Homo-oligomer: A and B are copies of this chain.
Amino acid sequence: MSRKRWRSVKEIRIADVARLAGVSTATVSRVLSEPGKVRQKTHDLVMEAVRRSGYIPNSTAQKLRTRRTMNVLVVAPRLTNPVFAEVLRGVDDELTQSGYGIIIGNLDNRREREARYVDLALSRQVDGILLLTGYIPENGTRDMRESGLPIVAICAAIEDDTIPNVVVQDREACRRAVEYLAGLGHRRFGYISGTPSSIIERERFQGFREGIEAAGFSHNDYVRWEGTFVFSTGVAAAESFLTMKDRPTGIFAACDESAIGFIKRVREERVRVPQDVSVIGFDGIEFADYTEPTLTTFRQPLHELGRAGADVLLKLIRNQMKPEDWDVRLPLTLLERDTTGPVLHKDYKSLRRSTI
């Protein structure tokens, strides 16, 4: 099978265009980057030469000379997580608009992969960094801050005075989740955790506990199942739940996936949702609207989060950062759907409130 060769295009340099137009390379460069600076006649001459030769500047040479790469590194724990994918979309929207490209750093939940992206930052392949990780990646010797590049933390906060955080109000939302369940009359709670070492999980659990206290309960009134941010964590929690004699009736899951896994598993054992147990998730992924019953959950403004994070980063890159832009905390929306309901229990005290 004979194939055409794919490398046959001769590369046109700025000098070729200059020769074609009968001007110097400096003039060509000016026409392309500072339009007002050249006479109309020369401008047209050059543009015609550009058009005819099909010239496109070699961006590597531009980067070297201008010391701007027009690329941003986005480091995410796992790309197949729909939450991060959606945030990335928001980031992409904002950056593309400003002419920036995205280099992705997918850790795939393996921390050993982060070293590569530290080196990438240190070798100046990007102008700025967006971290969705909640921590600062390092390569054994040095961490990303040493690149001297602007960094913005998004989704998960990083406690560092030099790094702005663009996050959601997780803790408040988790507190509200408990209050909502309590308002429906629930008195025994369950908490399905995410990855315990992650900042996000710590924030959410903290909010959950605040909610427990605020509603007048104590640590004796809830059970906590550990896991990670995946479906199977919910399944495992359900297994444990099913063996309990005195089951909780109000379950809060730190992400929608585990909420969905939980519901799936308990329903297999004829536990009714929400009659026997109410479940509330977190994230508001699209699937959550296609489960049976549809999942009550807090919707994160993911796309907005991505845009806002990228916007802050661009301001840093351009040195247009104003103090009031520094930290952004976006609110969440409670989507009241069908996996939560009033307690139908003998000791139900009719405390139902319609909203919180």
Contacts and interface: CB of A to CB of B under 8 A. Distances in A.
Interface in A319-344: 323, 326
Nearest to A92: B106
A61 interface: yes
A54 B118 CA distance: 13
A6 B264 contact: no
B103 A103 contact: yes
Interface in A72-131: 79-80, 82, 85-86, 88-89, 92-93, 96, 101-104, 106, 108, 113, 116, 119-120, 122-125
A162 interface: yes
A9 B326 contact: no
Q: Which of A260, A267, A289, A291 has the most CB of B within 10 A?
A: A291
12 contacts: A1-B323, A3-B162, A3-B326, A4-B162, A5-B162, A6-B162, A7-B149, A9-B148, A54-B142, A56-B123, A61-B64, A103-B103
Given A5-B162, A291-B292, 20 more contacts: A3-B162, A3-B326, A4-B161, A7-B149, A9-B146, A11-B148, A54-B146, A56-B122, A58-B123, A58-B124, A59-B125, A60-B125, A88-B106, A101-B120, A101-B125, A102-B104, A231-B290, A260-B287, A261-B290, A264-B290
